[in-house]
Amino acid sequence: MMMNEVLQTTGAAAMILVLLISAERFYKLRDLRMLDEAEDDEAVRKAEEAVEAFTSGKS
């Protein structure tokens, strides 16, 4: 009887640990994607500024 309780507690702790690690990875991946999108927006803005400066200089 005592061994079952130990195994149940260990199993529950392992499941909680897996859930916490999964949540952490999910949020890290989400943050990386958001950072990547922000960098993309900045790159597009700089490219548009460069094209605008180039085309206005030739006109």
For residue 19, tell me if it sits in a domain. no
Q: What is the pLDDT of residue 38?
A: 72
Total domains in the fold of the chain: 1
Give the contacts of 37 (CB within 8 A, at least 6 positions apart): none
| Domain containing residue 43 | 25-59
Map residue 59 onto helix, strand or coil: coil
15/54: higher pLDDT: 15
Q: Kindly tell me if the per-residue pLDDT of 39 is higher than 80.
A: no
Whole-angstrom distance, CA of residue 27 vs CA of residue 21: 10
For residue 54, tell me if it sits in a domain. yes
For residue 10, tell me if it sits in a domain. no
Whole-angstrom distance, CA of residue 37 vs CA of residue 2: 53
Q: What is the pLDDT of residue 58?
A: 58
6-36 tens-digit pLDDT: 999 999 999 999 999 999 999 998 888 887 7
Whole-angstrom distance, CA of residue 47 vs CA of residue 59: 19
